[in-house]
Amino acid sequence: MGMLKDASVSGGFGDLIAVFRQSEPGERVLPAVLAIACTAFILLLFYLDPKVNTYTYVPQEVIYVENWKTDRTDEEILQDRWEIQCLKDKLELERREAMKSLGRMSGMDVEQIEREAEAARVARGEVEVERPAGLQC
């Protein structure tokens, strides 16, 4: 801090005024105004930056609620569950077909990939759950 002991704000302003007095009128005013304007603009940007693009859109979540009778039988409950599973399977099949067509367009051997995936499922011991009789998907 020994280096800053001779520095003072009033001395700096005094030196600035002395430089302006020694130069021609207007010779140093324009650069000084430009320097102050640029600095003020940068400080304004720092002030405004935290306020810009801080709102992120969060879509509203839609929750569908179904009301069931309290006296439903187990068969009715299972029937409802299988209907939902049929919808999920239909969506999965559509997604799988879209991925297959993308793979074909990319030049992949889709049938070989599907055979390898089926072999991996069998190796893991995954089994297909049998559908109840009379279920129409």
pLDDT band at 113 (very low <50, low <70, confident <90, very high): very high
Q: Which token pair is 82?
A: 């299988």
pLDDT of residue 2: 65
φ/ψ (deg, to 5) at 99: -65, -35
Mean pLDDT of 121-125: 89
pLDDT of residue 4: 67
pTM: 0.46
Closest CA to 89 of 128, 55, 60, 39: 128
Please, which residues have CB within 8 angstroms of residue 74's CB and are 6 or more apart in sequence?
A: none
Highest mean pLDDT among 19-23, 69-73, 75-79, 91-95 belongs to 91-95
Mean pLDDT of 71-82: 86
φ/ψ (deg, to 5) at 21: -70, -30
Estimate the crossing angle of helix 110-124 against helix 74-105, to 10 degrees: 140
- Domain spans of the chain? 9-51, 74-124
